[in-house]
Each structure stands twice: as structure tokens, then as C-alpha cells.
Amino acid sequence: MGEKTYIQRTSGLKTRDYAGYAMVDTAGCLIFSLVTTLLQKYYTDIFHLSPLFIMLMFIAARIWDAINDPIMGRICDTIKPANSGRYRPWILYAALPLALSGVLMFLKFPGMGEEGHELGTQIYATATYILFGMVYTTLQIPYGSLASVVTTDAHERSKLSVWRSIGAALGSIPVLVIASFAYEERLHAAGQVVMGENGKPITDMVYGPVITGVIIMACCTFVMLIAAFMLNHERVKTKPMPKQKGATVAAMKKIFSNRAFISLSLVSMLLLAGQMFTQSFYTYLFDDYFHANWMNLATQACTYSPMLIMMFLLPNAARKIGKKEVTSVGVAMAAVANLVLFFLRGLQPGLLMWIFLIMNFVSGIGLTTLVMQLWAMATDAIDDIEVRTGSRDDGTAYSVFNFFRKFGQVIAAICVNGALLGMNYRYEKGAVQTAANLKSMYDLATLIPAVMFGVMALILFVWYPLSRRNVEQLQVEKERHLKESYENKTIDI
């Protein structure tokens, strides 16, 4: 047998490696899914915060992230690596703070959410939400960078991305159980159930089941991150980068001038915006329009169940057809499915809910192609920066990528709260929505994601340059660059 290539020497993942890498996102998504699915409605129903304040708070948090994220990225790139690696130790460092920050967001102290305590509730909500964002950043940026040093093989990275997506999906399921038990029927003073305009009982979110579920999920997050730290392994050992004046600005210029990276960052931003919008806004739609909170769990099952099939088919399809080629068609399919739901808005809710679930399944199949390949595509884009510029700044690149995704949260917050404000959603305790409100709610719940997914498909089709042929050429150039880096002693293997 001939001598191994540098890519072969820095690859060779086993099932243990894939599972350990995926477990980080499972743990993180146990907390993150609470934010994407429950927090918005928790703020309006339990804290009784106005949609306008929530929107402004989310925007302010993202402005801080514009400062915080690049700082974290440069710390990852320039700090002296620990014995356990450059990026892996951060999994351990973030375990306890992430669990605690998740619980703090949902703690309700006496008086909070009540008349006369509005300012205190607003300050507490803002402080705990920003704290969570900062802690989550200390996990996500090193975790994204970890993929680059776990393996350099393009096919293994594709499989790693699939496993990460499955891990994220598993971490997003438990919150749906909480959402299914977080509501109870509203009662008149005489003890009778309050009925809505469509003759179905009106339900309200209640604090007890929510905080119990949050605490359980936070404990699971802590345990899983400890386990994930022990299971991961860095195969490419990077040396500390020399501190040079203007290095951060130079790295940013290289990143923002790369077409593959910026186009994919925009796609990722809109993907997260679409996912967070539907997860948050659907809680209102299912509670107020369909009066069927069980649909929270059902729609997520429809969205994530395609992974059970695609996890076996997608890696080979991506290798033979191309990641760009597969994902662009899939995202276009998701846009069409949501557009169909918009045009069917005149149907009766009883029939429409079943069609809604079917179209969510179709949309889920399409989005799964991107969700399961996104992180492999991100690593491809960072490789493209490296071979074009000769410089690799994984932490800085992922901080930019992470910021784009956080800006997606801003878009989602603007869309959710803008929609609630535009339809004059009544968030006061005991409020009942009008028929006109409910009609607007359904239209916005279907049209907004259709537009987002359509723009994503257009970017992938037209602007993202890394086709299958270009990725194959990139692997050849990557082998050459690895050889040069090893000979120059900037990495160890």
C-alpha cells in the first residue's frame, strides 16, 4: 500500500465520532428550541410583554452580538490551545452556564408580568435573553470550527453534517412535548369553559408545566455536553496564530470577499429566520386559529420525520449529484409547499389542518436537504477561503456565519412581532382574537415562509458557486494546502 495522503491522515471517522459530534447540537438545541418555540409566546402570555417591546429587545440583542461574536471568534483563533485541543474544550466550558441561562429565561418571580411591574419584567427578560445569547455563542462558534479539525475528508464532512442535523432534530423534539402540555382551558368565574368564536375552548399558556420542562431539559443539556466533550477528538492540531496588528480586519476582508461563504451565510440566515418564524408563529396559529395545540407536535413530526429517510440517501446523493444541486431543488420544493397553503386559505379550518400537515411534510422533505448538508457546505466555503488566500481563520469565519444566523433571528422576530402588531393581536390577559385577526394570522403564517424559502432557492441556484465539480477541485487544492501547512509546521497531524 502507498503512503497515505494528508487528507487520509486527518480523517477516518467512526460511529463514535459522528455520535459525539452530533451530541453537542442535541444538547444545545434542547435549550435553543425553547427560545425558538416557546419563548415568544411565553413573553406575551406569562410576562405579558408587548410584541413591540419583544421585537426591539431581540434587535438590541443582535446588535450586541455584532460585537460579541467576532470577539469570540478571534479568541478561538488566537488563544493557545489546551491539551484537549483548540475548540473541543469550549464544549466543557459552556456546559453549566448554558443550562443555567436557559432556566433563568423562564423563571418567573413574584409580581413579574403583573400590572405595576412592567419595567422590572422588561429588564429581567432583556438581561436573561442577552446572557443566554452570549453563553450560546461560546458553544456554537467553537463547535462549528470543530468540524474543520475533526476531519478534512469532504465525504466524511457531509456525513458529519447529516449527523449534526439529526442531533439538532433530536434536541428539538422534547420542547414539543412541553408545548403540548403547556396550555389549559380558560374558565369563567363560575367555572365554565370560555369558548371562542368558532365554538372551541380558548386555552392559555400556564407557568408550571413550562418551568418544570425547562429545568429537566437544562439538566439533560449539562450531562450531554460533558459526554460530548469526552467523545470528540481533534485530528488536525493547529498552532497558535501570531498576534499581528490588523489581523482581524484582514481576516474579515478575506471572509466578506468570498462569494461562496457570503451566499451560503445569507441562505443560512434565511433558513433560521424561516424555521424560527414558523416555530414561534405556529404556536399562535394552532392555539388561536385551529384551537389544536397538538398540531405543535404534529407539524414538527412532519418537518423532521423526512430525516429518517434522507439520512441514508442524502450523503450519497450529495456526493454523486452535488450539495448545491440537491439543496437548491429541495428548498424550492419547500417554497412551493408553503405557497400552496397560502392559496388554500379559504378552506374550512377542520379540513385545512390536515392539508396543512401534509404540506408541512412536503416542505420538511425539501428543507431537510439543506438542513442536513448546511454545515458541510459551510466547511467547503471556509476551505474555499483557505485555498484562495492561504489563510484559515475558522473561529472568525464561524463567528461571521453565526452572526448571519443570529441576524436571521432578528428577521424572525421582526416578522413574528410585526405580524402580531399588524393584525392587532390582543396579548392582554383574557383577550380573545377577532375573526379578521385570525384570517390575517393564517395568511402571514404561510406567505412569509414561502417568500423566505423562495429567496433561498434563488441564491443557491444563481449565486452559490460550489457545484459538485468545483468541490471536487477544491479537495485537490485542499490536499496541497495541507501538505504545505504540515511542512511549514503550522499544523500537526
pTM: 0.82
For the record, the C-alpha cell of 299 comes out as: 407539524
Residue 160 lies in a domain: yes
Residue 129 lies in a domain: yes
Residue 371 lies in a domain: yes
DSSP assignment string, 416-469: HHHHHHHTT---STT----HHHHHHHHHHHHHHHHHHHHHHHHHHHHT----HH
Quote the CA–CA distance of 191 and 187 in Å, as a whole number: 5
Residue 402 makes CB contacts below 8 A (sequence gap 6+) with 69, 73, 137, 140, 141, 144
Residue 270 lies in a domain: yes
DSSP E strand stretches across 301-451: none
Beta bridge partners of 187: 193
Residue 377 lies in a domain: yes
If one counts the domains in the chain, the total is 1
User: Residue 35, exposed/middle/buried by CB under 10 A (0-12, 13-18, 19+)?
Assistant: buried
Domain range enclosing 411: 6-234+249-492
Residue 241 lies in a domain: no
Q: What is the CATH number of the domain that holds 220?
A: 1.20.1250.20
Residue 25 lies in a domain: yes
pLDDT per residue, tens digit, the chain (493 aa), is 457 888 888 899 999 999 999 999 999 999 999 998 899 889 988 999 999 999 999 999 988 987 888 889 889 888 888 888 999 999 999 999 999 999 999 999 999 988 888 999 999 999 999 999 999 999 999 998 898 889 988 889 889 998 999 999 899 889 988 887 888 887 776 677 777 665 677 788 889 999 999 999 999 999 999 999 999 999 988 776 666 777 788 888 999 999 999 999 999 999 999 998 998 899 899 988 998 888 988 998 888 889 888 888 888 899 899 999 999 999 999 999 999 999 999 898 889 999 999 999 999 999 999 999 999 999 999 999 988 988 778 888 989 998 899 899 889 989 998 998 888 888 776 677 888 888 999 999 999 999 999 999 999 999 999 999 999 999 899 888 888 888 887 778 7
Quote the CA–CA distance of 468 and 324 in Å, as a whole number: 7
Residue 174 makes CB contacts below 8 A (sequence gap 6+) with 30, 33, 213, 217, 220
Residue 427 makes CB contacts below 8 A (sequence gap 6+) with 44, 45, 48, 49, 50, 51, 420
For the record, the C-alpha cell of 241 comes out as: 496564530
Residue 1 lies in a domain: no
Distances (CA, A) of 197 to 95, 194, 286, 347: 46, 10, 15, 17
Q: Which of 297, 333, 289 is nearest to 425 (CA)?
A: 289
Q: What is the CA radius of gyration of the chain?
A: 23
Percent helix, percent strand, percent coil in the chain, to nearest 5 = 75, 5, 20
